[in-house]
Structures are given as structure tokens and as C-alpha cells.
């Protein structure tokens, strides 16, 4: 970092960093310590009084992904350290963290991954245009060039960005769905199983941001609490650092952009460990007081509730008139439009979930009717059990809700973007899909045990109808709750922002009404927000109730309560999940994903069934691990000769070691020799040969050849191939024939022009594969790099005339001023001349 900016800049960076981090975390700690007893009071009160709510009709699976992995495969990753593309084996376990390995063998041996990415706070992009829209603060051109037409980018406002690419659009779509699922899962990092810590933390973050004037929704409220706290610090620290550092960065715009990203990532990496340590210490202090606080609450609960109601009535008398006036003028006219914007895409998404589930059941029924057998049924049920966690199959459902648009309402109600609501709706859709699948599995398994496998199709149809009816009811209940919560998230911050200037100065006088022993559980700030919430709740409930009457939203009315028609169904939820592979004797499916591809947990020694299948490309072995498919890219430096030789030795030793440790594993298609052959282009020169040059063979030589783009490439070998053909003329020297070829360039035919175009395309493909960035620096790497090795020149000698050759010259114009000079090819004759204009190029 010292090479990017001076020591003075580093000094400013350190001062700002430590000052702001300490200041922010100290203020947040005070707010969290105040909110913890309040959250504990609400939790104990709920436990004592009991909570209402409609009971779910579908069963809920506790650990759906036990023994599973999500996906694994190969990607090309861009390394910013040396600006090169590398092939990486990527594993996505059930924790949804992305692990990148040197190779699949390294993953199977349990080695540590080269990179591990937690996707919380990231966005998965599929084009450089999307990326540059997010990078709108510095420059307009990307500082990388993607090696293929199908990029995949993970963007984060503070942390390092990650660049990948694949070979086909099919791969890109599948990987994008997987990456989006990783982001979706990691963003949902606050556990609902912590009834005290989670509400205390969320309220503390909200109040802390409100104290700084930020009342609206926050996109970076994602990930685990330490990650959220790091985002909270960077929210203020990042722009201040940019104002200090960015103007002093040197170099071109793209270089300054890259350097600023490295600085931002370095600071974020320093902030995150501090927030993690301080949060753990803060939670430890509060948890140490929990037993004493809990005892006080249970002893004095009635008195605390009475005191709270008394103080709340006083605050209500102050706030309610102002809140009702604000509600009539600025809230009620917009509730219906906000609700409509939320309901349309969300209802379509849940309807798509139902359709996808139904189609999967239809496929299973067709299999049973066509006599697929028990093993086939087991395979179908195995795939069905993971349907909710299959990002590709669920993508159509997620895309429906991604159409949610609050444009026109965002600025008025300070909603940064609809992404908060989109992510929440998608999580709920996944939960409902898994509940439906799990309930169907349990009902079908129960029916098979009691009725046997006779008339299996009819049995499945009955289970299907029962589950779909329960899904419709639960889906309606979940959506109505989601709409109410989303409306409150949009409206309440706006009302607090409008009412706080006039009401907040009056709140301290209400503290005198609270007994000192109860002051930790009753905060006037929280009671003020509860009064505001109560003032608008009635209108929101009424709006959702009226919307349920409209048939197009497919919602149950609040008056309709589905009775529990299966009193013993919830007992099935306590049983273990059905292992369909073992039940129907398909044990070989344990290591497969959708019947193909394996997903072992690295180092665990146990085979994990994979949710998403591997990608099979036509004509490419599975898995394809060669980095040869990635062509060379301009401004990306390639490997030098010395590092290439060192890597060749290391690759050979690694291959030998892998063969000893994994004797049963088939040899990988990306061996070093194949890599050298595939990226070693051959230039073919078709010339009639003299009698003295009528012998096939390869001879080493030295020299250079000038390509069509003006670059000189080294020639290491010349291979002579003699083709027998009827002779049209007497024996002629090679020099004479070469001169005749140059003189006959004006005799161009339409066929020759077509061949010229074909050869030009071949040249362009070779150029892409072997281009070298002259400005690159040497960086020792153990990876196989993409570099232009020496070319091989193949001389095809022919005893016939030029017209009978299989290739024609790529140009028919005589050399003009400025064109490359003829070169010697180092053959048997001394100083044999070859004009670059007559060199034929073909892919090996």
C-alpha cells in the first residue's frame, strides 16, 4: 500500500480509521446495552402471556441440508495480483460460502481452499455494464477485460470484488442462479432462534442510524452481526477515506480505480475483526446479567406491565393527535398503491412456487404410470426433496418477485431500494416450497407403509391434493403477514422522521414516571415508537383485509380458518426425514447430484449428495479443468519462459503425487503436455519441394516469423511433410518457385478470396489465444498460465504446382513499404527466403 500513496496519506488513513471505528462502536455498544433488557422483557412477557397467530398447516423440516452440498464445478477466476485468469474448482457447501480450490483433486484431498468468500452484502452480476453502473464514482471503463463473453462478478460496496467467467451461456445462467442463492442465504444471517439477542441487535442498529438522521431501510443490514457492524462503520468511514485518499492516487483512471478498491478492501478487512471481537465481548457482558434480569422480570412482571401502560397512555396523549394528522395527509392516500406494488409480484412468485411443485409431482406420477420401477421413483423423490434449495429450478419463482418496483414511492418514504423486500419474499418462498415438499414426503411415506405400493399413482394423487390445499392456506397467511410487515417498514420510519423533531424533546419528562427498578426494561424512546406503530396498524390491517377480498391475489379472508384436518400430521414432523435412496435401494445415488456429478465434503471423508447437477458441455470431458479454453486477453500479462519451466516441473511432481494418492481416479484431461500442445499453434507453409527436400521429418531450427498483426513469433521446429501428386513441370528450385508464387498474386479467384477470409478468422483465433501484454510484470506462480509459447512452422512440400495446394496465401498483394522483411526459415539450404505474405496459417 505504501507504493500507492505516501506515508502522510497512510497517517491520515490510520487516524481517521481508528478514531471513527472507536467512536462508532462505543456509541453502538451503549445503545445495545440499553436495548438488551427491553428485548428480554418482551421475550419473557411473550412466554408468560402466550402469543397468538395461526398454526401452520404444513410441516417444517429442521435441518433440510444435512449431508448435502449445493453445487461444485469449474470457473475461471481473475487474479488481481498478477492480472491473470486461472481455472479454479469451486465448491458451495450447505453453509453457502464459496470455496475456490486449485483443482478438484485438492478439494477431494481436504486441502485448504485458496479463497473463501462469504457472500453477505454482495451482488451477483452477469455483465460489465451492470458492474460499471455500480462503479459510477471513478471512471467509466472497466479495468479488466473478460476472457469470455460470459462474465460473473461479485460486487461489494466495501470489500474486494471477485471476477469469474465461463464458456457458455448455459453455464453462466446456472452459476448466476447459484451465486444469487449464496447471496440470498448469507444476507439472511440474523437467526430467529435468538429471541433476545436478535431484536436487541436490530433495534440498536436502527436507533443508532436514526440518531445520525438515517430513518429509511438499509440495504447493508445483511449477514452476521459483526458483518452488519462493519458495514455500519464503513457507511461513514468509506466516503471520508475516499475524500482523503482518492484525490492523491497516481496513475491512469483505471489504475486509480483498482488502487482505491484495494485500499477499501484493506480497510474493510481491518474493521471486520474489530467489530467481531467487540460484538462478542458486548454480548458476553449482557448475557452475564441475563439471569439476574430474568429473575427480576418474573418476580415483578405485573408491576412492570402496569407501569408501562401508565406511561404509554401519557405519551399517547402527546403523540396521537400529531400522528393521526400526519396519517390522514401523508400516509393513507398512499397505502393502497404501496400494497398493490407489493402484492402483484409477490403473489405471482408464490403462485409460481405452487406450479413448479405441481409439475414435479406430475413428472413423478408419469414415471409410476410408465412402470419406472422403485429405483426410478427413489431417484425422483431424492431430487424432489431438495427442490426448494435448487437455485436453477427455483429461479423462475425468484424472477417473479424481482419485478417488484416501488419507483415513485422510494424518495417519499426514504426507501433506498426494494431489494430488502425482494430478498425477504424469496426467503419465504423457499421456506414454503420446502414445507410443501417435506409434508408430501411424510404423507407419501406414511401411506406406503400402511397401504403398500399398490395403486401408487392414486396414493400420490391423494397426498398431492392434501398438500396443495395446505400450501394455499399457508401461502395466504405468510403473504398477508409479509405485506403488513413491509408496509410498516416503509411507513413507520417516515412517520418517526416527521414526528421526532416535535415529540422527542418532550420525552425526557416521562422518565420521571418510571420506577428506578424498572427503568432498564422501560425506555421512553421505545414506548414512543410503539405509540406511533399502534396509530397506523389499524389502517394497514384494514388495507390488507380489503385486498384479501380480491380473487386475483388468491388470498384467504381473515374469517376463513382452516381446521386441522390431520391431527396426527404434526407428529410426523418429529420423525426423521425419509431417505428415499435407501428405501428403494438406490444407494448409488448417495454421491450424485441429480443423477450426475459428485459433491464430497472436503476433508470429511463422507460423500455428500449435491443439490445442483454438474454442467456437462458438449464435447468437453466432465469435469473440464483445463484453462486452455480461456483465450489470451489484451493487457493481461502472460507467463515468462523461466516461470513456465518451473511450473512444468511443479505440475509434473504434483501429478505424480496425485496418481500415488488417488490410484482409482482417471487421469485429468488437462495434463501439462496437452496444455502445451493446445496452446502451441502451428503455422503451415505450402511450398513445392525440390528433389533434395523430399524427406518427411522434423528439424530444430531458430528464427522468427512475422504474423499478420505485425508481431514476431519465435520458430523452434520445422516439420516437412511430402504429399505425392502428379507433376506438372520439371524439377525447379525452391527459390524459383517462390519467386513464381510472388509473381502470380494477381490471379485471384473467388474461391481464393473465400479461403482468405477463412484463414483470416483462423489468424484472429490464434491471436486471441497467444497475445501477450508487453507491459506485464513477472510474478512467480505455481499455476499453469496462459502464455504464447514458441510457434511451430510446418512446411508442406508438394511436387505439384501452387494451384494444387490445399491452402492459399492470405494476401495477394506484393509487399509494400513498411511491410515486414522476408525471413529465413533455417532449412537445409542456407539463407532460404520466405516472404511473410506467402505464409499460410492454420490452427493445429
pLDDT in tens, 173-211: 999 999 999 999 999 878 888 889 999 999 999 999 999
* pLDDT attached to residue 471: 94
Instruction: Give the residue-averaged pLDDT of 826-839.
Output: 44
Instruction: Tell me how far apart the alpha carbons of residues 188 and 506 are, in angstroms, rounded to a whole number.
Output: 37
Spell out the residues 6+ positions from residue 97 whose beta carbon is closer than 8 angstroms to its own: 116, 117, 118, 119, 182, 186
Lowest mean pLDDT among 168-172, 409-413, 743-747: 743-747
pLDDT tier, 375 (very low <50, low <70, confident <90, very high otherwise): confident
Closest CA to 546 of 343, 311, 744, 260: 343
* pLDDT attached to residue 253: 83
User: Is 402 strand, coil or helix?
Assistant: coil
- CA 719, 723, 728, 729 dihedral sign is positive
Whole-number Cα distances in Å, 556 to 205, 247, 469, 470, 535: 35, 59, 12, 12, 26
Lowest mean pLDDT among 62-76, 93-107, 485-499, 544-558: 544-558
pLDDT tier, 33 (very low <50, low <70, confident <90, very high otherwise): very high
pLDDT tier, 424 (very low <50, low <70, confident <90, very high otherwise): very high
- Angle, helix 524-549 to helix 456-503, in steps of 10 degrees: 140
> Between the ranges 227-236, 583-592, 672-681, where is the mean pLDDT highest?
227-236
More confident site: 695 or 440? 440
* pLDDT attached to residue 510: 93
- Angle, helix 197-211 to helix 225-245, in steps of 10 degrees: 20
* pLDDT attached to residue 819: 44
Spell out the residues 6+ positions from residue 309 whose beta carbon is closer than 8 angstroms to its own: none
Whole-number Cα distances in Å, 317 to 310, 382, 408, 499, 539: 11, 60, 34, 14, 19
* pLDDT attached to residue 693: 52
pLDDT tier, 125 (very low <50, low <70, confident <90, very high otherwise): very high
Instruction: Give the residue-averaged pLDDT of 72-83.
Output: 89
Contact 298, 506 (CB under 8 A): no
Instruction: Tell me how far apart the alpha carbons of residues 144 and 254 are, in angstroms, rounded to a whole number.
Output: 9
All three cell numbers of 367, joined, read 414415471
Lowest mean pLDDT among 117-126, 464-473, 690-699: 690-699
All three cell numbers of 285, joined, read 457482558
Q: Please say if the pLDDT value at position 716 is more than 70.
A: no
* pLDDT attached to residue 249: 83
Whole-number Cα distances in Å, 616 to 548, 667, 739: 46, 18, 52
- The alpha-helical segments, DSSP class H, found in 606-749 are 641-661, 672-678, 734-743
* pLDDT attached to residue 769: 52
Contact 787, 772 (CB under 8 A): yes
Q: Where are the beta strands (DSSP E) in 118-229?
A: 123-125, 150-155, 162-166
- The distance of Cα 168 from the centroid of its chain, to the nearest Å, equals 17
Instruction: Tell me how far apart the alpha carbons of residues 815 and 832 are, in angstroms, rounded to a whole number.
Output: 18
Whole-number Cα distances in Å, 539 to 316, 542, 547: 17, 5, 12
* pLDDT attached to residue 446: 86
Amino acid at each position: 500500500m505504501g507504493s500507492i500513496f505516501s506515508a502522510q496519506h497512510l497517517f491520515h488513513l490510520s487516524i481517521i480509521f481508528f478514531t471513527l471505528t472507536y467512536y462508532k462502536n462505543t456509541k453502538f455498544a451503549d445503545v445495545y446495552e440499553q436495548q438488551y433488557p427491553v428485548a428480554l422483557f418482551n421475550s419473557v412477557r411473550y412466554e408468560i402471556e402466550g402469543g397468538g397467530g395461526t398454526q401452520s398447516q404444513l410441516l417444517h423440516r429442521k435441518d433440510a441440508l444435512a449431508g448435502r452440498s449445493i453445487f461444485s464445478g469449474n470457473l475461471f477466476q481473475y487474479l488481481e495480483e498478477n492480472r491473470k485468469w486461472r481455472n479454479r474448482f469451486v465448491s458451495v457447501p450447505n453453509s453457502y460460502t464459496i470455496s475456490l480450490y486449485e483443482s478438484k483433486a485438492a478439494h477431494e484431498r481436504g486441502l485448504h481452499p485458496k479463497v473463501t468468500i462469504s457472500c453477505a452484502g454482495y451482488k451477483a452480476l452477469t455483465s460489465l455494464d451492470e458492474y460499471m453502473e455500480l462503479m459510477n464514482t471513478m471512471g467509466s471503463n472497466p479495468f479488466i477485460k473478460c476472457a469470455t463473453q460470459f462474465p460473473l462478478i461479485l460486487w461489494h460496496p466495501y470489500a474486494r470484488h471477485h471476477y469469474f467467467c465461463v464458456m457458455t451461456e448455459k453455464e453462466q445462467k446456472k452459476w448466476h442462479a447459484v451465486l444469487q442463492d449464496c447471496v440470498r442465504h448469507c444476507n439472511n444471517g440474523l437467526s430467529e432462534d435468538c429471541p433476545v439477542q436478535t431484536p436487541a441487535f436490530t433495534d440498536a442498529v436502527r436507533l443508532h442510524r436514526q440518531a445520525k438522521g438515517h430513518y429509511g431501510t438499509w440495504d447493508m443490514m445483511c449477514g452476521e452481526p459483526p458483518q452488519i457492524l462493519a458495514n455500519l462503520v464503513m457507511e461513514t468511514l468509506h466516503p471520508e477515506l475516499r475524500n482523503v485518499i482518492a484525490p492523491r492516487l497516481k496513475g491512469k483512471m483505471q489504475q486509480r480505480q483498482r488502487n482505491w478498491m484495494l485500499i477499501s478492501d484493506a480497510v474493510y478487512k481491518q474493521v471486520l475483526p474489530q467489530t467481531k471481537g467487540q460484538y462478542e465481548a458486548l454480548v458476553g457482558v449482557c448475557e452475564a446479567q441475563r439471569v439476574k434480569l430474568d429473575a427480576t422480570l418474573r418476580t415483578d412482571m405485573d408491576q412492570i406491565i402496569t407501569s408501562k401502560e401508565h406511561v404509554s397512555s401519557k405519551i399517547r396523549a402527546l403523540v396521537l393527535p400529531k400522528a393521526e394528522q400526519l396519517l390522514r395527509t401523508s400516509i393513507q392516500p398512499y397505502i393502497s398503491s404501496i400494497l398493490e406494488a407489493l402484492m402483484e409480484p409477490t403473489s405471482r412468485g408464490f403462485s409460481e412456487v405452487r406450479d413448479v411443485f405441481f409439475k414435479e409431482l406430475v413428472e413423478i406420477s408419469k414415471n409410476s404410470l410408465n412402470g419406472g420401477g422403485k429405483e426410478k421413483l427413489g431417484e425422483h423423490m431424492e431430487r424432489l426433496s431438495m427442490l426448494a434449495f435448487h437455485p436453477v429450478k427455483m429461479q423462475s419463482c425468484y424472477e417473479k418477485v424481482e419485478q417488484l418496483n416501488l419507483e415513485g414511492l422510494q424518495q417519499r418514504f426514504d426507501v433506498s431500494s426494494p431489494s430488502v423486500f425482494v430478498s425477504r419474499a424469496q426467503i419465504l418462498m423457499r421456506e414454503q416450497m420446502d414445507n410443501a415438499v417435506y409434508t408430501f414426503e411424510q404423507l407419501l411415506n406414511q401411506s406406503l407403509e400402511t397401504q403398500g405400493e399398490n395403486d401408487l399413482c392414486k396414493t400420490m394423487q391423494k397426498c398431492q391434493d392434501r398438500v396443495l390445499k395446505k400450501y394455499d392456506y399457508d401461502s395466504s397467511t405468510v403473504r398477508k403477514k409479509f405485506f403488513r410487515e413491509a408496509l410498516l417498514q416503509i411507513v413507520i420510519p417516515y412517520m418517526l422522521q416527521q414526528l421526532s423533531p416535535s415529540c422527542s424533546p418532550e420525552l425526557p419528562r416521562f422518565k420521571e414516571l418510571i420506577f428506578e427498578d424498572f427503568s432498564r426494561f422501560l425506555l421512553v424512546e421505545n414506548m414512543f415508537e410503539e405509540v406511533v406503530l399502534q396509530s397506523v396498524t389499524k389502517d394497514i390491517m384494514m388495507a390488507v383485509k380489503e385486498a384479501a377480498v380480491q380473487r386475483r391475489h388468491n388470498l384467504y379472508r381473515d374469517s376463513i380458518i382452516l381446521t386441522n384436518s390431520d391431527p396426527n400430521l404434526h407428529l410426523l414432523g418429529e420423525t426423521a426425514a425419509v431417505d428415499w435412496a435407501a428405501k428403494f435401494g438406490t444407494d448409488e445415488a448417495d454421491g450424485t447430484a441429480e443423477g450426475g456429478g459428485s459433491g464430497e465434503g472436503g476433508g470429511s471423508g463422507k460423500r455428500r449428495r449435491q443439490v445442483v447437477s454438474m454442467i456437462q458441455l458438449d464435447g468437453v470431458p466432465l469435469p473440464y479443468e483445463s484453462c486452455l479454453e480461456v483465450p489470451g486477453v489484451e493487457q493481461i500479462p502472460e507467463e515468462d519462459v523461466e516461470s513456465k519451466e518451473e511450473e512444468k516441473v511443479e505440475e509434473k511432481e504434483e501429478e505424480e503425487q496425485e496418481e500415488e494418492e488417488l490410484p482409482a481416479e482417471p487421469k485429468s484431461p488437462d495434463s501439462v503436455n496437452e496444455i502445451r500442445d493446445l496452446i502451441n499453434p502451428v503455422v503451415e507453409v505450402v511450398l513445392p519441394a525440390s528433389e533434395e527436400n523430399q524427406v518427411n521429418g522434423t528439424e530444430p531450427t531458430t528464427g522468427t516469423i512475422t504474423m499478420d498483426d505485425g508481431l514476431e513469433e519465435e520458430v523452434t521446429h520445422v516439420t516437412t511433410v511430402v504429399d505425392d501428386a502428379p507433376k506438372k513441370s520439371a524439377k525447379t528450385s525452391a527459390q524459383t518457385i517462390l519467386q513464381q508464387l510472388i509473381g502470380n498474386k494477381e490471379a485471384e479467384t473467388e474461391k481464393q478470396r473465400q479461403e482468405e477470409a477463412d484463414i483470416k478468422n483462423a489468424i484472429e483465433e490464434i491471436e486471441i489465444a497467444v497475445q501477450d501484454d508487453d507491459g506485464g510484470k513477472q510474478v512467480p506462480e505455481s499455476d499453469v498460465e496462459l502464455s504464447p509459447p514458441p510457434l511451430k512452422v510446418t512446411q508442406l512440400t508438394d511436387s505439384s504446382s501452387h494451384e494444387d495446394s490445399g491452402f492459399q496465401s492470405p494476401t495477394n498483394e506484393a509487399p509494400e513499404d513498411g511491410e515486414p522483411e522476408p525471413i529465413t526459415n533455417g532449412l537445409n539450404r542456407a539463407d532460404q527466403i520466405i516472404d511473410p505474405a506467402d505464409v499460410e496459417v492454420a490452427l493445429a
